[in-house]
Structure 1
Amino acid sequence: MVELRLLKSETEYKQAIILADKMFRDEEHSSMGRAFPQVFSPELNQSYGAFINNELVSFIGLVPSVIHLGDAEAQAYSIGAVCTHPKHRKKGYASMLLEKVFAHAQRADASLIFVSGILPMYIKAGCSFYGEVNKYEINKGDLLVKEGYSVREILPYDWFNLRKLRHSRAVYFEQSIYDFSILYQAKGFASILKMEHKILVAESENQIKGFVVLGVPNSSSGSEELPSRVIEWGGEPHAIQSVLAESFQHGISFLQYSLPLHERELNNILNFKEKTVGPFPGTIKITNLDLLLKQLEPFFSGKIEIINIDKDYKKLLYKQKSIILSNADLEKLILQGDSNLDRLLEDIFPIPLPFPEGLNYV
Structure 2
Amino acid sequence: MSRIEGPRGTREEEFKKVMKLIDSVFRGEGFPSPSKQELYSILLNRDNLENMRIILVDGEPVAHLGIHEGELVIYGHRMKVGSIGSVCTHPDHRGRGYATALLRDAIRKLNEDGVDVMLVSGDRGLYRRAGCAPASKMYAFSIGKAELEQFRDPGIELVPYREEHIKRMIEIYEREPVRFHRKLEEFRRMLISGSDRNVGAETFVVLQRGELLGYLSVQPPVEPGVSYLVEYAGSRWAAVGAMGYIFDIYGIDELRLVVPFHDREMIHLLRIRGLEGVPVEMPGYTVKVINFVGLMERLRPYMEERLGRIARLLGFRCEGERYLIRLGREELAVEGDADLVRLIFGSAEGSGMIPETGELKVLADLFPIPLVYPGLNYV
Question: TM-score range, shorter-chain basis?
Answer: 0.7 to 0.9
CA distance in 1, matches of 2:154, 2:84: 43
- Residue 239, structure 1, aligned to residue 246, structure 2: no
Residue in 2 that maps onto 1:202: 206
In 2: Cα distance, 1:284 partner to 1:323 partner: 28
Residues 1:58 and 2:63 aligned together: yes
Q: Distance in 1 between matches of 2:16 and 2:330?
A: 52
Instruction: Describe the superposition over 1:228-252 as per-residue Cα deviations: whole angstroms up to 9, x where unpaired.
Output: 1101111121111112133333234
Q: What residue in structure 1 maps to residue 192 of structure 2?
A: 185
Which amino acid in 2 is paired with 1:52?
A: V
Aligned residues: 349
1:332 aligns with 2:342: yes
Read off the aligned partner of 1:207 and give its amino acid letter: E
1:35 to 34, 39, 54: 39
Between the aligned partners of 2:121 and 2:220, the Cα distance in structure 1 is 21
Q: 1:353 aligns with which of 368, 371, 378?
A: 371
Deviation at 1:85, TM superposition (A): 1.1
Match of 2:108 in 1: 103
**Secondary structure of 1:158 counterpart:** helix
Q: Could you tell me which of 3, 6, 11 is aligned with 1:4?
A: 6
- The verdict on how the C-alpha distance between 1:230 and 1:344 changes in structure 2, with shifts beyond 3 A counting, is farther
Q: Which residue of 1 aligns with 2:300?
A: 297
From 55, 76, 88, give the equivalent of 2:81: 76
**2:136·2:342 contact (CA, 8 Å) conserved in 1?**
no
Pick which of 283-292 and 6-15 moved more. Answer: 6-15
Structure 2 unaligned regions, length at least 5: none
Change (3 A) 1:324 1:144: same
Shift in Å, 1:338: 2.5
| CA separation of 1:143 and 1:297: change in aligned 2, threshold 3 A | farther
Structure 1 gap ranges (5+): none
Output the amino acid matched with 1:269.
Answer: L
Q: 1: distance between equivalents of 2:327 and 2:212?
A: 41
Aligned-partner SS, 2:314? strand
Secondary structure in 1 matching 2:143: strand
Aligned positions of 1:89-100 closer than 5 A: 89-100=94-105
CA contact (8 A) 1:9 1:42 kept: no
Root-mean-square deviation (CA, aligned residues, Å) is: 2.5
Give the conservation status (yes or no) of the 8 Å contact 1:131–1:350.
yes
Matches of 1:340 and 1:310, distance apart in 2: 17
Contact kept in structure 1, 2:343 and 2:353, CA below 8 Å: no
Q: Secondary structure at the match of 2:295?
A: helix
Q: Structure 1 residues 61, 15: CA separation in 2 closer, same or farther (over 3 Å shift)?
A: same
Contact 2:10 2:54 (8 Å CA) reproduced: no
- In the alignment, structure 1 residue 307 sits paired with structure 2 residue 307: no
2: distance between equivalents of 1:250 and 1:316?
A: 55
Structure 1 255/344 Cα, relative in aligned 2: closer, same or farther at 3 Å?
Answer: farther
Amino acid at match of 1:18: K
For 1:262, the aligned partner's letter is H
- C-alpha distance after superposition, 1:122-161 (max 9, x if no partner): 1111111111221111124253345864443323321111
Structure-1 separation of matches of 2:316 and 2:174: 36
Q: Is the 8 A contact 1:188 1:359 kept in 2?
A: yes
Mapped partners of 1:257, 1:22: distance in 2: 30
Specify whether residues 310 and 292 from structure 1 end up closer, same or farther in structure 2 by C-alpha distance, changes over 3 A only: closer
Match of 1:163 among 149, 166, 170: 170
Tell me how far apart the structure 1 counterparts of residues 156 and 149 of structure 2 sit (CA, whole Å). Answer: 17
Change (3 A) 1:199 1:283: same
1:13 aligns with 2:8: no
Residue 339 of structure 1 and its aligned partner are, at CA, apart by 4.3
Letter in 2 for 1:4: G
Q: After superposition, where does 1:112-131 map in structure 2 within 5 Å?
A: 112-131=117-136
Provide closer, same or farther for how the CA distance between residues 16 and 240 of structure 1 changes in structure 2, counting only shifts above 3 A: same
How much has 1:198 moved relative to structure 2?
A: 2.8
Q: CA deviation digits over 1:84-106, x for unaligned, max 9?
A: 11111111111111111111001
Worse-superposed segment, 51-60 or 245-254: 245-254
Residues 267-303 of structure 1: per-residue CA shift (max 9 Å, x gap): 1111221433221122111011011112222322221
Cα distance between partner residues in 1 of 2:191 and 2:330: 44
- Look up the match of 1:172: 179
Take 1:119 and 1:331, find their aligned partners in 2: how far apart are those partners?
16
The answer to whether the Cα contact below 8 Å between 1:210 and 1:234 also exists between their aligned partners in 2 is yes
Which range moves more in the overlay, 327-336 or 9-18?
A: 327-336
CA distance in structure 1 between the partners assigned to 2:327 and 2:268 by the alignment:
30
Q: How does 1:223-234 map to 2 (within 5 A)?
A: 225-234=224-233
Q: CA deviation at 1:174?
A: 1.2
Percent identity over the alignment is 23
Q: What is the TM-score normalised by the length of structure 1?
A: 0.88
